[in-house]
């Protein structure tokens, strides 16, 4: 296969990826748009004039603002209803705006609020603007002979307001050039054999007229010159545009070509890697990775375990890899460390994500360690010119870092000391043939298992063979669980528990109850002894110890304790005589 044929096959695969991204059923508002409460229609304005006004206005174009009139304010009052059952219509004071609609003032304000909220949610979660000005609609009939209404041209926009007591402002995006609806374009090309032209230097009216001529011979097909502000929450549109650009400019990267099915595209691992990192974690337990990595070559800025260090080193060497794991396992930490490591080597990094939160977490981690000035944030509205200029200015104004000599020798010594502890834990010891780490791991794994009183004699002489025999016996008992529990005629019945086998929590609770009972009895006995000796009842363990010493001296006294000491009032008389 020639290189041209292979390139064409890759482009075909990219086009198939685009098709899979597009949702072509009636749930897609880009194909089947129903006004309802989804949008706001503008009236008495030409599309080209609207775009000119948006481009010329720095603050945007305002909608009418409706303010409820206060009853008794002397300005406007509620008007009583004609019938007793109908609620009175509230009186409002309307502040005219730059844009006119067919909606009542309060309904307009409510609908604009809903559009603004939906757009804000998408921007915060995925960094996507889903609010557009629709310029023209195509009314057509799909392959199922069902009527459809689809936007033709889309212009990204935004709705802003300074406060709840201010009107909504329609603002055009910086790149406010109209875009032909890509979903409609693909649908018409595949289902109806109609190719919508690209939008060029013509006016909106001229383009819509060209589309109307294109569908003139179709029955029940027409172009509607209306303008609507609506949301189209279609998150894959940006990816579709990226793939379209890829197909137009060609695909040369071997990884993309291989994913597209080009078997001749080889993704070779780098051969000049400084460190040979194993393909898996086998043989790296016990701090073995530190023997392969020089601490002077590590530039991690947040905590990383050995599996994360291995991933960082693989990414640093140019290997292609996938890092996966459940939430909270340190993926964002690993990404931040990879970025910091490559920055330290003077390399550039492109970090992309569908979710804004993922980008923000990594950016925050890098900012916290002083690397925020090296990050150019181009996601969502932060990719606008003003934001880009501000970030570049902040990076240029960043004062130079105060470079100090790092005490590598002390770090190496401390790492070696910690590694010696880890390696001691992983050292296989005889006679069991297990490491302390492995034994603790097994104990932790059975922490919630019922406790059985199986006595193992001569534990000090326990070796690997005897341990294996004990485990086999326990395994055979476990394999006959039902017989062990329920069959009273089983030969295993002698191993049955004589009473309930409490779990660890129950055992601890029973032990604490016994300890508390013993302590209460001890406190009572100590109090009686103190009363007999005529001293204050002890409150601390030291005082109890002193009382015990006193009683011991009295017990060991030659000739015993004089009888008059034990008579009532004897102690008081001795104190008085003294």
* d(C-alpha 54, C-alpha 41), whole Å: 16
* d(C-alpha 242, C-alpha 256), whole Å: 13
Answer whether 227's CB lies under 8 Å from 208's CB. no
400 three-state secondary structure: coil
Cα distance from N-terminal residue to C-terminal residue, the chain:
120
pTM of the prediction?
Answer: 0.57
Nearest to 244 by CA among 549, 24, 14, 501: 14
* d(C-alpha 471, C-alpha 477), whole Å: 10
The two structure tokens encoding residue 550:
């006193």
Q: For 240-306, give the DSSP string.
A: HHHHHHHHHH----HHHHHHTT-TT---PPPS--SS---SSSTT-TTTGGGGTS-GGG----S---H
* d(C-alpha 113, C-alpha 103), whole Å: 14
Per-residue pLDDT of the chain (578 residues; tens, 9 = 90+): 677 777 788 888 888 887 777 777 788 888 999 887 778 999 877 888 898 888 888 788 999 888 776 554 444 433 344 444 455 556 778 888 889 898 888 889 899 999 999 988 888 887 778 899 999 999 999 988 999 999 999 998 999 998 888 899 999 876 667 889 988 988 898 888 899 998 988 999 999 999 999 999 999 999 999 999 999 876 566 677 788 888 877 777 787 888 888 877 776 655 454 456 666 666 677 777 787 888 888 889 998 888 888 889 888 888 888 888 888 888 999 999 999 999 998 999 999 887 888 888 999 999 999 898 899 988 766 777 888 888 899 888 888 777 678 888 898 899 889 989 988 998 888 888 889 998 888 888 877 776 666 677 777 778 888 888 888 888 887 777 776 666 666 666 665 555 545 555 667 778 888 988 998 888 888 888 888 777 788 888 888 888 888 888 877 877 777 766 666 666 666 666 65
224 three-state secondary structure: strand
For the chain, the 3-state helix, strand and coil shares in percent, each to the nearest 5, are: 45, 10, 45
Phi and psi at residue 105, to the nearest 5°: -55, -45
- The label of the residue with tokens 């304010």 reads 73
CA 569 → CA 339, 356, 530, 547, 576, distances in Å? 86, 86, 15, 20, 11
* d(C-alpha 235, C-alpha 123), whole Å: 10
Give residue-wise pLDDT tens across range 215-245: 999 999 999 999 999 998 765 666 777 888 8
Phi and psi at residue 96, to the nearest 5°: -60, 155
The two structure tokens encoding residue 36:
């309802």
Give residue-wise pLDDT tens across range 157-208: 999 998 888 899 999 876 667 889 988 988 898 888 899 998 988 999 999 9
Range list of β-strands (E), 96-245 = 131-141, 147-160, 169-172, 179-180, 222-231
């Amino acid at each position: 296969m020639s290189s041209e044929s292979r390139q064409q096959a890759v482009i075909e695969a990219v086009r198939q990826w685009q098709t899979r991204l597009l949702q072509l059923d009636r749930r897609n508002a880009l194909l089947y748009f129903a006004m309802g409460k989804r949008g706001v229609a503008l009236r008495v304005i030409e599309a080209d004039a609207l775009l000119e006004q948006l481009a010329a206005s720095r603050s945007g174009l305002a909608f009418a603002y409706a303010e409820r009139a206060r009853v008794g304010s002397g300005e406007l009052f509620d008007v009583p209803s004609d019938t007793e059952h109908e609620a009175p219509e509230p009186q409002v004071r309307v502040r005219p705006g730059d844009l006119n609609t067919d909606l009542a003032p309060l309904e307009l304000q409510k609908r604009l609020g809903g559009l603004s909220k939906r757009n804000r949610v998408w921007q915060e979660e995925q960094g996507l603007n889903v609010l557009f000005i629709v310029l023209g609609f195509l009314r057509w009939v799909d392959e199922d002979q069902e009527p459809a209404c689809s936007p033709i041209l889309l212009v990204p926009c935004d709705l802003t307001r300074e406060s709840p007591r201010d009107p909504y402002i329609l603002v055009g995006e910086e790149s406010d050039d109209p875009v032909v609806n890509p979903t409609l374009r693909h649908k018409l090309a595949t289902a109806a054999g109609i190719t919508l032209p690209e939008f060029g230097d013509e006016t909106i009216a001229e383009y819509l007229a060209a589309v109307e001529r294109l569908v003139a011979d179709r029955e029940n097909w027409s172009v509607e010159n209306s303008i609507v502000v609506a949301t189209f929450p279609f998150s894959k549109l940006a990816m579709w545009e990226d793939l379209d650009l890829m197909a137009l400019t060609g695909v040369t990267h071997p990884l993309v070509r291989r994913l597209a099915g080009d078997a001749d595209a080889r993704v070779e691992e780098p051969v000049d890697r400084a460190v040979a990192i194993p393909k898996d974690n086998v043989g790296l337990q016990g701090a073995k990775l530190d023997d392969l990595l020089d601490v002077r070559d590590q530039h991690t800025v947040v905590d990383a375990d050995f599996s994360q260090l291995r991933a960082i080193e693989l990414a640093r060497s140019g290997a292609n890899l996938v890092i996966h794991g459940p939430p909270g396992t340190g993926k964002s930490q690993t990404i931040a460390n990879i970025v910091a490591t490559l920055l330290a080597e003077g390399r550039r990094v492109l970090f992309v994500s569908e979710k804004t939160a993922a980008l923000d977490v990594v950016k925050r981690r890098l900012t916290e360690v002083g690397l925020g000035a090296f990050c150019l944030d181009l996601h969502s509205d932060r990719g606008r010119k003003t934001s880009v200029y501000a970030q570049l200015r902040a990076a240029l104004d960043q004062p130079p870092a105060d470079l100090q000599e790092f005490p590598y020798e002390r770090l190496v010594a401390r790492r070696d000391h910690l590694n010696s502890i880890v390696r001691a834990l992983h050292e296989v010891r005889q006679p069991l043939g297990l490491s302390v780490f492995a034994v603790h791991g097994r104990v932790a794994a059975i922490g919630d298992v019922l406790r059985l009183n199986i006595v193992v004699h001569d534990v000090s002489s326990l070796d690997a063979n005897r341990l294996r025999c004990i485990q086999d016996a326990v395994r055979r008992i476990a394999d006959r669980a039902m017989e062990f529990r329920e069959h009273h005629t089983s030969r295993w019945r002698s191993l049955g528990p004589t009473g309930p086998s409490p779990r660890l929590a129950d055992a601890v609770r029973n032990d604490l109850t016994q300890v508390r009972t013993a302590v209460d009895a001890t406190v009572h006995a100590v109090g009686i002894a103190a009363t007999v000796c005529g001293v204050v009842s002890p409150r601390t363990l030291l005082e109890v110890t002193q009382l015990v010493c006193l009683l011991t001296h009295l017990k060991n006294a030659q000739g015993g304790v004089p009888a008059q000491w034990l008579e009532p009032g004897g102690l008081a008389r001795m104190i008085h005589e003294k």
